[in-house]
Amino acid sequence: MNKAEQTRARVEAGLKRRYAAERRFRAYGLGAVLLGLAFVVLLFSTLVSQGWSAFRQAYVTLDVQYDAAIIDPEGTRDTATLSTADYAALVRASLKARFPEAQSRQETKALYALVSSSAAQAVQARILGDPSRIGGHERLTFLANDRVDQLLKGRIDRNLDEDSRSLTDQQVGWIDALAADGALSLHFNKGFFTQGDSREPEQAGVWGAVVGSLFTLGVTLLLSFPIGVSAAIYLEEFARRGKWTDLIEVNINNLAAVPSIVFGLLGLAVFLNFFGMPRSAPLVGGIVLTLLTLPTIIIASRAALKAVPPSIREAALGMGASRIQMVMHHVFPLAMPGILTGTIIGMARALGETAPLLMIGMVAFIVDVPKGLSDPATVLPVQVYLWADSAERAFVERTSAAILVLLAFLIVMNAAAVYLRNRFERRW
Amino acid sequence: MNTANPPVPENCSTVGVVTVENAVLSARGVDVYYGEKRAIKDVSVDIARNQVLAMIGPSGCGKSTFLRCLNRMNDTIEGCRVTGSITLEGQDIYDRSQDVVPLRARIGMVFQKPNPFPKSIYENVAYGPRIHGLAADRVELDEIVHTSLQRAGLWDEVKDRLTQPGTGLSGGQQQRLCIARTIAVNPEIILMDEPCSALDPIATARIEDLIDELREQYAIAIVTHSMQQAARVSQRTAYFHLGDLIEVGETDRIFTNPRHKLTEDYITGRFG
C-alpha cells in the first residue's frame, strides 16, 4: 500500500464517525428548537384558552322606569339634584319588577347582586344626557355581575352544591330565566379595552395600563435612545482607548446585569425622595426604565458601530471629512439597523419590567386612565401582577387577557424592529 | 510657489537622489513608531509635481505606512507616532496649527480595496465638494461630478445610472469611482495604496492609463506590489526594505541599473 492509498484509507475510516457526529449535532439542535417551540405553544395555548373568554362579557337588558318620584321628587330638574339622585334604586326596582317573587331582604339582596354596580351610573348618564326622559321608560343594557358572567362562561359549576358555589340556586334560576328570554347574553367586551382598573372584575379594563405603558415607554424611548446612542458613538468613535474607557466599559456591562429592583430603589431614593417627583407617575417610571435600558442600548449600538467596515471610515476621512462628519454621514447610518434592533430589544425589556416600577408606586390601584406624564398610572405587567393577586374568579381570565394584550404589544414592537432593520439595511 | 527643498539630514543612508526639482511634498528624516516598534526609519524623499513616485518593496516593508503618513491617515491608528518632518509647500503637515481636514482635501487618497460609500454614484462624487463647500449651487455640483467622472474615465459607463448605488459597480469601476471622488475636491497630490491589487488585469490596465493621464495635473505617489506596474506608471521609484528607504531614483535607472544590493536582489526576483 503506497502513501496516497494509506491516506485515503484513513480518511475513509474516519468518515462514518464524522458524519455521525454531524447527525448527532443536528438532532440536538432540532431537539432544542422543538423543545423551545413546545413551551411557546404551551404558553400561548394556556393563555388563549384562559384569557379568550375575557374578551366577551355578560350583559343584562332590563326595562327601566325613570320614576320621577325617585329621581327628582320636587320637579326642579336642576343638575345638582339629577346627579345625586338614587339611580341604583331604579335598577333595583326594575329587577324587582322582573322577578316579583323575591320578597325577603336576603332574596332581594341576592337579586340585586345580579347586576353590576355600574348600572346606576349608566342610568344616570341617560338622564343627565336628556332629562326629558324622566317619567318614561327604556330598555337598557347593563354589565352583569362577574359571577353571572362566570356562570354563563361555565367557569362556575352549576352542578355543585349550593353552599360551595358563589351563586345560590335561586340566583341560578333567575339567571337561567333571563338568559331564556334573551335578556342576558355574552357580547364583545368593549369595556375591557376602554376602561381603567376596577375592584369589580366586570368593570375592570386594561386601557389604563395600556396608556400607562405607552406613556412610560414613550419617556423611556425619548430619553434612552439619544443618550444611549450618543454615549455609544462617543465611546466607539471619539474616546481614546485607555484605562478610563475600559473602566467605563466594564461598568456599563455590569449595569446591564444589575437586578432591576435595584434601579427601582435608586429611582425611589433619587427621583421621588430627593427631587420630589410625583409618585406612581409614568414620567418617573420612564426615567427609571431609561436607566435600565441604557446599558442594553449602549452595548448594542457599540457593537453595531464596530461592525461598520473600517474602509468606509477611511474613505470618509481620506476625503477630508471631519470625525463628526464621518460618523454622521457614513458610520451612523450604516449602524442604524443594529442600533434600532438593540433599542427595540431594550424597549421590549422595559415593557415587561415590573419590579422597579413597584418601588416607585406604579403598583397603586388606579381607576382613571392617565392623561399625562405626571398622572398616577400603572403599566401592563404590573396590572397583570395586580389581577393575578386578586381573589375573584373573574380576574383569572382577565389576567390571561392582559398578558395577551402585553404579548400583542411585544409582537408589534418586534415586527417594527424587523421592518426598520430591513428599511435601513444597506449593502456594500 | 516653489520653496527651496528642505535640507536632507546628513546621516541619510538612502542610495540615489532623494530630492527633486519641483517638489510639492518633502519628507525629511521621518520615523514612524507603532507603540515601541519602529516601522519606518529615517526616510527622506520628495514627491514632485506632474510625476508618479512608485514605492515598492517586500510585504511589511513599511511602504503603505509611509504613504499613510503623507496625509496623516495614521492619526487614526492608536499608538502610532510620527517624528521628523513632512512639508507640503514648505508647511509642516504635522505642525500643531495644521488642520487635518483641509490637509486631506489637498492630499487625496485611493485605497487598496475599492471603498465607495454605500450611496449613489452621484453622491459618492459629490460628497467631497459638498463637505468642503466647493459648489455654490446644484448646477456647479453637477458640473464637478460630470468632469470628475469624465476624468476618471467612468462617465460614459455610468452617465445613465448616476442615482444607482456606487457599490453595484464592478471592482474596476468602483476603484475609478473612488478616483473620481478623490479628484472631485481638486487635490494637489493623490496617494494610491496598491489601487489595483484587488482588480483583474483589464481593470488594472485602465487604472494605469488613468494614472498616466492624471499625472498631467497632480503629483502622485503609488504603493504597488507589482514591479511591472511600477515600471509602467512611474517616473521615479523608491525601494523600501524593513522600514528603510534603500534606494530612490529614476524608474528606468532603478530597474536597469540598481546600485544597492538589496534593490538588485528584489527587482531580479531573488526575494520579495
Same domain? For A229 and A130 the reply is no
Sort strands B23-34 and B80-88 into parallel, antiparallel or unpaired: antiparallel
We report the CATH number of the domain holding residue A351 as 1.10.3720.10
B15: DSSP letter:
B
Q: Is residue A78 part of a domain?
A: yes
Same domain? For A21 and A75 the reply is no
Gap from A227 CA to chain B (nearest CA, Å): 25
Same domain? For A62 and A162 the reply is yes
Max CA separation in chain B (angstroms):
57
Is residue A119 within 8 A of residue A92, CB to CB? The reply is: no
| Residue B142, pLDDT above cutoff 80 | yes
Domain endpoint, select from A14, A29, A52: A52
| Residue B1, pLDDT above cutoff 60 | no
Closest residue to B101, CB basis, from A313, A322, A330:
A322
Domain endpoint, select from A35, A52, A69: A52
**pLDDT score recorded for residue A427:** 56
Closest residue to B111, CB basis, from A240, A314, A320:
A314
| Residue B2, pLDDT above cutoff 50 | no
- The percentage of residues in chain A with a pLDDT greater than 90, rounded to a whole number, is 61
Look-up of cell digits 322606569: A65
Chain-chain contact of A311 with B118 (C-beta, under 8 angstroms): no
Same domain? For A335 and A392 the reply is yes
Question: Where does the pLDDT of residue A317 fall: very low under 50, low under 70, confident under 90, or very high at 90 and above?
Answer: very high
Q: Is residue A221 part of a domain?
A: yes
Same domain? For A13 and A24 the reply is yes
Question: Where does the pLDDT of residue A160 fall: very low under 50, low under 70, confident under 90, or very high at 90 and above?
Answer: confident
Same domain? For A16 and A30 the reply is yes
In degrees and rounded to multiples of 5, residue A373 shows phi and psi of: -70, -20
In degrees and rounded to multiples of 5, residue B240 shows phi and psi of: -100, 145
Same domain? For A191 and A248 the reply is no
Question: Which has the closest alpha carbon to A231: A170, A300, A177, A279?
Answer: A300
- In a mutational test of the B interface, the residue from A237, A319, A425 whose CB has the highest number of chain B CBs within 10 Å is A319
**pLDDT score recorded for residue A112:** 92
Same domain? For A172 and A220 the reply is no
Structure confidence by residue, pLDDT tens digits, A380-427: 999 999 999 988 888 999 999 999 999 999 999 889 888 888 888 765
Question: Where does the pLDDT of residue B238 fall: very low under 50, low under 70, confident under 90, or very high at 90 and above?
Answer: very high
- Chain B residues inside the 8 Å CB shell of A319: 104-105, 108, 127-128, 131, 181-182, 185
The total domain count for chain A is 3
Gap from B209 CA to chain A (nearest CA, Å): 23
Is residue A398 within 8 A of residue A192, CB to CB? The reply is: yes
Amino acid at A201: P
- Chain A residues inside the 8 Å CB shell of B128: 319-320
| Residue B27, pLDDT above cutoff 50 | yes
Q: Which position has the higher pLDDT, A309 or A424?
A: A309
| Bridge partners, residue B80, by sequence | B34
- Chain B residues inside the 8 Å CB shell of A337: none
Q: Which position has the higher pLDDT, A115 or A423?
A: A115
Burial-class residue A118 by CB neighbours within 10 Å (0-12, 13-18, 19+).
Answer: middle
Structure confidence by residue, pLDDT tens digits, A331-386: 999 999 999 989 998 999 999 899 999 999 888 888 899 999 999 999 999 999 99
Gap from B227 CA to chain A (nearest CA, Å): 26
Structure confidence by residue, pLDDT tens digits, A241-266: 889 989 999 999 998 889 999 999 99
Is residue A345 within 8 A of residue A417, CB to CB? The reply is: yes
Look-up of cell digits 345625586: A84
Q: Is residue A202 part of a domain?
A: no
Question: What average pLDDT does range B196-217 have in this prediction?
Answer: 90
Is residue B30 within 8 A of residue B82, CB to CB? The reply is: yes
Chain-chain contact of B104 with A320 (C-beta, under 8 angstroms): yes
Closest residue to B104, CB basis, from A313, A317, A428:
A317
- The percentage of residues in chain B with a pLDDT greater than 90, rounded to a whole number, is 59
Q: Which long-range contacts (CB under 8 A, 24 or more apart) does A196-200 make?
A: A196/A366, A196/A367, A196/A368, A196/A369, A197/A365, A197/A366, A197/A367, A197/A378, A197/A383, A197/A386, A198/A367, A199/A365, A200/A116, A200/A117, A200/A118, A200/A146
Question: What average pLDDT does range B22-42 have in this prediction?
Answer: 90
| Residue B3, pLDDT above cutoff 60 | no
Same domain? For A214 and A168 the reply is no
Using CA coordinates, name the residue in chain A closest to B177: A315
Chain-chain contact of B101 with A319 (C-beta, under 8 angstroms): no
| Bridge partners, residue B237, by sequence | B54, B249
| Residue B95, pLDDT above cutoff 70 | yes
Question: What average pLDDT does range A148-163 have in this prediction?
Answer: 88
**pLDDT score recorded for residue A157:** 87
Domain range for residue A155? 54-197
C-alpha span between A18 and A221 (Å, rounded): 50
Question: Where does the pLDDT of residue A74 fall: very low under 50, low under 70, confident under 90, or very high at 90 and above?
Answer: confident
Q: Is residue A75 part of a domain?
A: yes
B153: DSSP letter:
T
Question: What average pLDDT does range B108-133 have in this prediction?
Answer: 93
**pLDDT score recorded for residue B271:** 65
Closest residue to A320, CB basis, from B105, B165, B178:
B105
Q: Is residue A409 part of a domain?
A: yes
Q: What average pLDDT is seen over chain A?
A: 91
Chain-chain contact of B71 with A316 (C-beta, under 8 angstroms): no
Same domain? For A35 and A63 the reply is no
Same domain? For A62 and A136 the reply is yes
What is the ipTM score, two decimals? 0.88
C-alpha span between A179 and A148 (Å, rounded): 11
B168: DSSP letter:
G
Structure confidence by residue, pLDDT tens digits, A271-297: 999 999 998 999 999 999 999 999 999
Question: What average pLDDT does range A204-228 have in this prediction?
Answer: 95
Per-residue burial over A332-367, b if 16 or more Cβ lie within 10 Å, else e, is: bbbbbbbbbbbbbbbbbebbbbbbbbbbbbbbeebe
Same domain? For A220 and A166 the reply is no
Q: How far from B67 is each of A23, A308, B27, B189, CA to CA, in Å?
A: 52, 24, 11, 12
Is residue A86 within 8 A of residue A27, CB to CB? The reply is: no
